Amino acid sequence: MKEQLEEIRRRSLAELADDASEAAIEAVRIRTLGRAGELTEIMRGMRDVPQAERPMLGQLVNQIKREIEARIEELKSRNQQLALDRSLSEAALDVTLPGAKVPRGRIHPVTQILERMLAILVAMGFEVENTQDIEDDFHNFGALNFPPNHPAREMQDTFFVPGAMLLRTHTSNGQIRVMERRRPPLAVVCPGKCYRRDDLSVRASPMFTQIEGFMVDRRGRITMAHLKGLLAEFARAFFGPDTKVRFRASFFPFTEPSAELDIHCLLCAGAGCPVCKQSGWTEVLGCGMIHPNVLRAVKLDPDEYGGFAFGMGVERTGLMALGIDDMRLFFENDLRFLAQFSAISGGTR
């Protein structure tokens, strides 16, 4: 009997090897510990064993039972751990893998340039006021001292809208709109879209952006020298501290005297190129002292009030600052172009 027990122990533990399958473990359990298992049978047959041997054999059976049970427990928890490790490693998230890129939109370069220009002007004390794109003849032309037969008023230059309206050809309407509502002292910039019957080309577009600026106070307080100093400072802030500027006499109906501000061409550094028409200089803006007739049109007495105005094109100035030589790029919506301007630091700075 004892040998038989030792044999059951040896064989069972041998079958419960480290790599035993679930099924093999279960088979050993049923064969030894089950209801009709070998050890169960031996316990049942104990009454036929001589009294004296019973305690020793009973102990041995219990000991073997515990050994087998413990071994089965050990294997089962070991298999569970292995299965857990396996499933964890299969489902694992590899945080070192590169993520899927979510495409991000960007501010259009023209808007970025506009915002930089406005930031400089706002830092100088100007307020920003938006005025309307669809205008009447009075606010776009008449009040700005355009004579009745001025060529800009003709069909081939201006988009007319039914109802005796037109798409503004410049943001100078902002001067009139703001001064009709507010009295001096005023220091205001009016950004916005303008429209002219031009074909899209290297240097022009039928829709473009301008910033109009003006400053009005009691007569004599604001001089041409203020205008010059302000615009030269603006040019240095926008294009870079070493920017060379020059003022050139010009003509606009709504200013007297009138001037244009040129900067040294940034594309060719003054050497002459197609963009500056070989002159080495590029026109950046128009400006001047507000014409008395403009003040009269907004019911300000030119003997009491005076000031200056300026107007600049955002796209053209932006071309300079970015070193780009074709206006059409701004309007073609080619993402390969637009994506290059995630944050324009601007100019030569």
**Kindly report the CA angle at 311 between 231 and 157, in degrees rounded to 5?**
155
Question: Exposure of 313 by Cβ count < 10 A (0-12 exposed, 13-18 middle, 19+ buried)?
Answer: buried
User: Of 196 and 264, which CB lies nearer to ligand DAH in the complex structure?
Assistant: 196
Q: Pick the stretch among 8-16, 72-80, 286-294, 338-346 that binds ligand DAH (CB under 6 A).
A: 286-294
In the block, tokens 């069972």 appear at: 12
User: Of 139 and 170, which CB lies nearer to ligand DAH in the complex structure?
Assistant: 170
- Residue in 109, 192, 307, 311 binding ligand DAH, rule: CB under 6 A: 311
Residue 112 interacts with ligand DAH (CB under 6 A)? Answer: no
Residue 321 interacts with ligand DAH (CB under 6 A)? Answer: no
Contact (CB, 8 A) for 312 and 210: yes
User: Of 126 and 341, which CB lies nearer to ligand DAH in the complex structure?
Assistant: 126
Residue 186 interacts with ligand DAH (CB under 6 A)? Answer: no
Residue 287 interacts with ligand DAH (CB under 6 A)? Answer: yes
In the numeric block, which tokens belong to residue 124?
């100088």
User: Of 294 and 324, which CB lies nearer to ligand DAH in the complex structure?
Assistant: 294
- 136-175: contacts with ligand DAH (CB under 6 A): 170, 172
Instruction: List, in order, residues 6 or more apart from 134 with CB less than 8 Å away.
Output: 161, 165, 166, 167, 168
E strands, the chain, where? 127-128, 134-136, 160-161, 165-167, 186-195, 207-218, 245-252, 255-264, 281-290, 305-313
- Beta carbon of residue 269, minimum distance to ligand DAH (angstroms, whole number): 26
Cα gap 121→115, rounded to integer Å: 10
- Residue in 112, 255, 282, 317 binding ligand DAH, rule: CB under 6 A: 255
Cα gap 120→128, rounded to integer Å: 12
Q: Pick the stretch among 30-38, 180-188, 284-292, 332-340 that binds ligand DAH (CB under 6 A).
A: 284-292
**Kindly report the CA angle at 71 between 67 and 74, in degrees rounded to 5?**
140
Q: Pick the stretch among 16-24, 39-47, 185-193, 305-313 that binds ligand DAH (CB under 6 A).
A: 305-313
Residue 141 to residues 116, 178, 255, Cα–Cα distance (Å):
29, 15, 13
- 27-66: contacts with ligand DAH (CB under 6 A): none
Q: Pick the stretch among 181-189, 285-293, 295-303, 319-327 that binds ligand DAH (CB under 6 A).
A: 285-293
Residues near ligand DAH (CB under 6 A): 170, 172, 212, 252, 255, 286-288, 309-311
